[in-house]
Chain A
Amino acid sequence: MRRRAALALVALLAAGCGRSQPVVKIGFVGPLTGDQAPVGQGMLNGAILAVEQAKAQGPILPGLEVELVALDDQRSPTQAVSAAKKLVADPDVVAVVGHLNSSCTMPASAVYHQAGMLQITPVSSNPQISRQGFETFYRTCATDDLQGPAAALFAVRELGARRVFILDDMTTYGRGLANEFKRKLKGLGAELLGHEGIPQGDKDFTPVLTKIKAYEPDLLYFAGMFPEGALLMKQRLRVGLTSRFMGGDGLYDASLITLATPEAAEGAYITTIGSDVRQIPTAQAFVRAYEARFGPIGAYSAYAYEAANIALWAVRTAGAKDRGAVLAAMKGLRDYPGIFGPQNFDVKGDSLIKVIGIFTVRDGRFEFVKTASWD
């Protein structure tokens, strides 16, 4: 699947050079190498599909073909900013879909804002990003000030958690989500035993897990990404920590279960910033097209597809290769017929479709439990 996607990318890029036909470009940035590459690749595939479908409908602007430019941020904030600068320096680029990590989206959003370029992040869920007041910023997912409380409510009311230990990965996303979870948890009467950070990219978490074991929690909540999440799941069994494991949408990727092994992941709960795309009637055409083109659907493929489609819509509506016109068109968006239903954005640029889903791992697969409420 990855090879085919890479070929598609090469084809798209090859189409961009050595040819004089004028184009209009949509940027994509996400982690395409490194430990988070599987998720970034799934997002890129969603964006590729959207652009391909738009191309099939004819020129997006009079006489202009649309082209996708994919850049890699390696989940590093510095790389994210340099990718953003590269995109804004290219006068053909009028909108960008990205990034994955809030820690990347946050600094990059300032670059896009300065250049007056539309940015739609598919999944960066830290609420602070849209509070910066950038009129260039939009996002197609729910935020962590909903996800955190929803997770806390589910943990206490439905899983009966009474003694909770929180770990996060010290990123904009992880720390932000952990704090939102903690805030709600305190109001629900569960006891918070501790809250610690772990360095992203580290491999050995047995010391902190051993320490947590001594607190005898009944729930370990981890706000972070799946590479570290998988190691935590696995190593907690090694030190004999048997409490229930729960985490946020950063864990929502099939790689979590393969890296952790199905046994270690069994019974874990995770929240997602949207519901199960396979269960949404309006998303069925997308699911079929994606799976026919790339194979199994990635965790965030649908959000990247939606974000790319909205960006393409804005370019089409603007009717000109002009960043200001694209932004103005975006402001006029009402009830866009997206795959999650009619899509609208509030003044901060956040999607009004706010759904928090809850999944559990059963027999080595994510199983949808329910959509959750946050108050």
Chain B
Amino acid sequence: MNSFELLLQQLANGLTLGAIYALIALGYTMVYGVVQLINFAHGEIFIAGAYAALTVILMLSGLALPWWAVLGLCTAGAVLGCGALGWGIERLAYRPIRRAPRLNAFITAIGMSFFLQNALMLIFGATDRQFPTLIPLVRWQLGGVTLTLIQLVIWAASGALMIGLQGLVMSTTLGKAMRATSQDLVACALLGIPVNRVIAITFMIGSMLAAVGGLLFGLYYNTINFHDGYLVGLKAFTAAVLGGIGNMPGAMVGGILLGLLEGLGAGYLSAQWKNVFAFAILVVLLLFKPRGLFGERVAERA
């Protein structure tokens, strides 16, 4: 394994992690885009997606279905479950205080995060849960670089979802309504755009992406714990800020960049500072570009 192959391998490792971060970061940035709220409960929605998928897998375990069928069904379960969860959170916790000062929503979001974390602990237990390896361990050796089937699945799923989302937002009526709502909520309501529905759908889409992220996280690392949502959520939030919060392509780039930086930092500098790199880079970047890499319109709104 020469140093070039080593670099490629580290990039592949980082890209896998980054693809998962990007999916979660999109939820933060979409919600911020339409209601200027940092949804701190998003990390918990992500890990709830992993638990929902695990529940479906355990329910199906007696049926001896092929792995791709189980994968399809548990994806559906996680996506629907988290979509409903996201909708419920918006309806019950955020909508009633939408007109209240910004700080109220902020504290509500933190409270929601604590609530969900403890609810998950009570429902699924405080110990690590093993997540089955649904996708067979297939490895390809390309020179000195090892790629696995699960990595390709993560890249493909994440890539397809990001392209699909971009299409949805840029070229459908719903997407147009979302973009309009993000510019001026009151004006949209006056023009007859059902802003409540648009906001609810935005929460649902963000939560569904997080659910896929949670499922992929479970499949890749094979253990999940109720408090995993916290650190991963924080990293994804960092990714969203890195790319410029409110900017969707920014969240995608931010997520992948963060994954790559973590991978390269741990691989070339020191593994023990792995978690420090992400935040150190965020601090440095924000010193020079306070709105993130692709940040826009933050100042005029504040």
Contact = CB atoms under 8 A, between A and B. Distances in A.
Interface string A198-240: 1101111111101101100000000000010011001001111
A34 B146 CA distance: 33
B226 to A, nearest CB: 10
Given A33-B127, A35-B127, A207-B262, A259 B268 contact: no
Interface of A: 33-35, 37-38, 167, 170, 196-199, 201-208, 210-211, 213-214, 227, 230-231, 234, 237-240, 255, 258-259, 261
Interface of B: 1, 3, 6, 9-10, 13-14, 16-17, 121, 126-128, 130, 133, 137, 139, 141, 146, 148, 150, 217, 221-223, 225, 227-228, 231, 262-268, 270-272, 274-275
Nearest to B272: A197
Given A37-B127, A239-B9, A199 B274 contact: yes
A97 to B, nearest CB: 21
Contacts of A258: 130
27 contacts: A37-B127, A196-B270, A197-B272, A198-B272, A198-B274, A199-B271, A199-B274, A199-B275, A204-B13, A204-B17, A206-B263, A207-B264, A207-B265, A207-B271, A208-B267, A210-B9, A210-B10, A211-B6, A211-B268, A214-B6, A238-B150, A239-B9, A239-B13, A240-B146, A259-B128, A259-B223, A261-B222
Contacts of B127: 33-35, 37-38
A237 to B, nearest CB: 7
A34 B267 contact: no
Contacts of B148: 238
Nearest to B268: A211
Contacts of B274: 198-199, 202, 207
Interface centre among A167, A197, A238, by most chain B C-beta atoms within 10 angstroms, is: A238
Q: Which label, helix, strand, loop or mixed, suits the secondary structure of the B interface?
A: helix
Given A207-B263, A211-B268, A231 B275 contact: no
A62 to B, nearest CB: 40
Contacts, number: 101
Contacts of A33: 121, 126-127
B228 A203 contact: yes
A-B pairs, top 7 by smallest CB distance, nearest first, are: A33-B126, A207-B266, A197-B272, A208-B271, A207-B267, A240-B146, A206-B13
B272 A196 contact: yes
A227 B223 contact: yes
A202 B262 CA distance: 12
A163 to B, nearest CB: 15
Contacts of A239: 9, 13, 146
Given A38-B127, A207-B263, 15 more contacts: A34-B126, A34-B127, A35-B127, A35-B223, A170-B272, A199-B271, A202-B274, A204-B17, A207-B267, A210-B13, A210-B267, A231-B222, A258-B130, A259-B130, A259-B223
Contacts of A240: 139, 141, 146
A207 B10 contact: yes
B21 to A, nearest CB: 11
A56 to B, nearest CB: 31
A210 B271 CA distance: 11
Contacts of A38: 127
A240 B13 CA distance: 12
A346 B130 CA distance: 42
Contact of B6 (A204, A210, A234, A238): A210
A210 B272 CA distance: 15
A33 B124 CA distance: 12
Contacts of A198: 271-272, 274
A7 to B, nearest CB: 15
A37 B121 CA distance: 13
Chain A CB within 10 A, most for which of B13, B139, B148: B13
Contacts of B223: 35, 203, 227, 230-231, 259
Contacts of A214: 1, 3, 6
Contact of B1 (A202, A203, A213, A230): A213
Contacts of A170: 272
Contacts of A231: 221-223
B181 to A, nearest CB: 36
A206 B263 CA distance: 8
